[in-house]
């Protein structure tokens, strides 16, 4: 069904990503999880394939891909079980591509496209997750620079990132606090940037969730990406919507991978003298899994097609796709474990890892409750 919405170039790209994921990722993810990281050569291969710079224009060394390509990439990576936070790297690339001036693009984009620099998107704080307006990070305007102080939490890839796209307030005491938020590019090696705690998480063990601390960090004025006031926060949220589409695609991919493993197991597992796929209760679960996956995929592509027409991700559609895909993927991966019986609870059959990883994706980029608020805001406006 989705094929009718894709161009021939999109389909060729999907075939390339799927082959790469099946041959170079899926056989190794289990070992990488034991090691607690993706190896450096993995990131090099992603760069060689053009995936790290997928959304970066060709003139800056990128692949010049579209948001549709990003969704294809995320889904196929999820299907292979790779929980790499590509959406965070792409969010940095997209923010600099869309909002940066020519000098910022020339300085940062080529190194991000080649994989020399990995970006991390720094919004969440210990006391400000869904409520971005309550963030306490503050960048005080000085003569030629901003003095940044604050603490960010649960930052994907924070430990390996070379640069951070950081959200911080530059104005106080506004009637609407979110209006005072600006966006900056901060180099990792800037004095005053420190790594804090790395969280021990339920899943996604190949990538880290890190605390990043900014203590009197001098950020050059030319590294201001989006200023506060005016349309600033709206532009920030527009960039955030693309991450929601990528997140949704990862969830669809994880659900697809878990479903395919469950389907194969149900055809092979014999109980009561026949494959369990012939038992009505099992058949109905498999049918429900297929329906939910297809419905979620269509919601994601509905958001993308509207983006193609309007040139920006539509907030309501992005939130709808994410809310449904998040809950669908958790349910599908849970059912995949159930269909495997006791085997599903073991590491050998991998569906338990799919469940652990996708549970984290269902919170990143805005919880399902926040998505519901976003949807309600749009339909009641």
Q: Tell me the pLDDT tens digit for each residue of 79-107.
A: 999 877 676 677 888 899 989 999 999 99
Whether the predicted pLDDT of 302 surpasses 70:
yes
pLDDT attached to residue 301: 92
Whether the predicted pLDDT of 183 surpasses 80:
yes
71 and 170 share a domain?
Answer: no
The dihedral formed by the CA atoms of 26, 54, 163 and 138, expressed in degrees to the nearest 10: -110
pLDDT attached to residue 230: 65
In whole angstroms, how far apart are CA 295 and each of 131, 289, 320, 379?
29, 10, 11, 21
249 and 348 share a domain?
Answer: yes
Whether the predicted pLDDT of 120 surpasses 70:
yes
17 and 104 share a domain?
Answer: yes
- Lowest-confidence region among 47-61, 122-136, 286-300: 122-136
Of residues 42 and 79, the one with the higher pLDDT is 79
Residue 192 main-chain phi, psi, to 5 deg: 100, -10
pLDDT attached to residue 307: 79
317 and 362 share a domain?
Answer: yes
Whether the predicted pLDDT of 20 surpasses 70:
yes
Whether the predicted pLDDT of 313 surpasses 70:
no
- Lowest-confidence region among 25-34, 162-171, 256-265, 303-312: 303-312
Structural domain containing residue 20:
2-114
Of residues 275 and 41, the one with the higher pLDDT is 275
Q: Which of 226, 252, 271 is the last residue of a domain?
A: 226
Buried b (16+ CB within 10 A) or exposed e, 95-116: bbbebbeeebbebbbbbbbbbe
pLDDT attached to residue 333: 98
146 and 179 share a domain?
Answer: yes
Arithmetic mean of pLDDT, 268-279:
96
For the domain that residue 49 is a member of, what is the CATH number?
Answer: 1.10.540.10
For the domain that residue 135 is a member of, what is the CATH number?
Answer: 2.40.110.10
Q: In which band, very low, low, confident or very high, does the pLDDT at 241 lie, cut at 50, 70 and 90? A: confident
- Other beta carbons less than 10 A from residue 126's beta carbon: 13
237 and 157 share a domain?
Answer: no
Q: What is the pLDDT of residues 191-238, one digit of tens each?
A: 999 999 999 999 988 888 999 999 999 999 999 999 987 677 777 777
Q: Which of 68, 95, 114 is the last residue of a domain?
A: 114
Round the average pLDDT of the chain to a whole number and report it: 91
Report the domain count for the chain. Answer: 3
**Taking a C-beta distance cutoff of 8 angstroms, is the pair 88, 120 a contact?**
yes
Whether the predicted pLDDT of 76 surpasses 80:
yes
For the domain that residue 319 is a member of, what is the CATH number?
Answer: 1.20.140.10
Residue with tokens 């603490």: 151
Arithmetic mean of pLDDT, 300-319:
82
Arithmetic mean of pLDDT, 163-181:
87
**Taking a C-beta distance cutoff of 8 angstroms, is the pair 267, 283 a contact?**
no
pLDDT attached to residue 43: 85
Polymer length in residues for the chain: 381
**How many CA atoms lie within 13 Å of 227's alpha carbon, on the beta-carbon side?**
7
pTM for this predicted structure: 0.92
Supply the DSSP string of 23-82, one letter for each residue. HHTTTTHHHHHHHTS--HHHHHHHHHTT-TTTTS-GGGTS----HHHHHHHHHHHHHTT-
375 and 287 share a domain?
Answer: yes
27: its two tokens:
């056989």
Query: For 150, which DSSP code?
Result: E
317 and 374 share a domain?
Answer: yes
Q: Which of 114, 147, 182 is the last residue of a domain?
A: 114
32 and 165 share a domain?
Answer: no
Arithmetic mean of pLDDT, 148-153:
97
Q: In which band, very low, low, confident or very high, does the pLDDT at 36 lie, cut at 50, 70 and 90? A: confident
Selection from 156, 37, 151 nearest residue 90 by Cα: 156
Whether the predicted pLDDT of 126 surpasses 70:
yes
207 and 296 share a domain?
Answer: no
pLDDT attached to residue 88: 65
- Other beta carbons less than 10 A from residue 308's beta carbon: 11
Whether the predicted pLDDT of 335 surpasses 80:
yes
pLDDT attached to residue 185: 97
Q: How far apart are CA 348 and CA 352, in angstroms?
A: 9
186 and 266 share a domain?
Answer: no
Whether the predicted pLDDT of 139 surpasses 90:
yes
Q: How far apart are CA 58 and CA 76, in angstroms?
A: 23
- Other beta carbons less than 10 A from residue 367's beta carbon: 16
> Which of 53-67, 149-163, 173-187, 283-297: highest mean pLDDT?
283-297
219 and 149 share a domain?
Answer: yes
- Other beta carbons less than 10 A from residue 292's beta carbon: 21
pLDDT attached to residue 254: 97
pLDDT attached to residue 299: 96
């Amino acid at each position: 069904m989705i094929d009718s919405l894709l161009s021939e170039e999109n389909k060729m790209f999907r075939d390339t990503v799927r082959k790469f994921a099946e041959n170079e990722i899926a056989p190794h993810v289990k070992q990488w999880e034991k090691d607690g990281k993706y190896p450096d050569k993995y990131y090099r291969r992603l760069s060689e394939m053009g995936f790290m710079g997928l959304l970066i224009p060709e003139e800056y060394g990128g692949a010049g891909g579209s948001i549709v390509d990003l969704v294809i990439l995320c889904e196929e990576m999820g299907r292979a079980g790779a929980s790499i936070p590509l959406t965070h790297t792409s969010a940095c690339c997209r923010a600099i591509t869309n909002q940066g001036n020519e000098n910022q693009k020339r300085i940062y984009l080529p190194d991000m496209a080649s994989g020399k620099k990995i970006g991390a998107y720094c919004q969440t704080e210990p006391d400000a997750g869904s409520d971005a307006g309550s963030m306490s990070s503050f960048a005080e305007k000085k003569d030629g620079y901003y003095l940044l102080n604050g603490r960010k939490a649960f930052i994907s890839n924070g430990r390996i990132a070379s640069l951070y796209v950081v959200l911080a307030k530059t104005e106080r005491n506004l009637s609407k606090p979110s209006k005072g938020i600006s966006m900056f590019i901060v180099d990792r090696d800037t004095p005053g940037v420190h790594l804090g705690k790395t969280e021990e998480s339920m899943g996604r063990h190949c990538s880290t969730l890190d605390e990043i601390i900014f203590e009197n960090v001098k950020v050059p004025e030319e590294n201001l990406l989006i200023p506060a006031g005016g349309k600033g926060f709206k532009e920030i949220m527009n960039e955030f919507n693309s991450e929601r589409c990528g997140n949704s695609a990862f969830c669809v991919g994880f659900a697809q991978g878990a479903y395919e493993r469950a389907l194969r197991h149900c055809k092979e597992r014999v109980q009561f003298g026949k494959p369990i796929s012939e038992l009505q209760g099992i058949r109905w679960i498999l049918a429900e899994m297929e329906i939910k996956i297809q419905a979620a995929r269509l919601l994601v592509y509905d958001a993308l097609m509207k983006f193609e027409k309007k040139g920006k991700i539509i907030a309501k559609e992005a939130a709808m796709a994410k809310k449904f895909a998040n809950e669908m993927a958790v349910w599908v991966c849970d059912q995949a474990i159930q269909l495997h019986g006791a085997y599903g609870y073991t590491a050998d059959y991998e569906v338990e890892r799919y469940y652990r990883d996708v549970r984290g994706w269902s919170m990143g980029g805005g919880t399902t409750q926040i998505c519901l608020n976003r949807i309600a805001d749009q339909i009641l406006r």
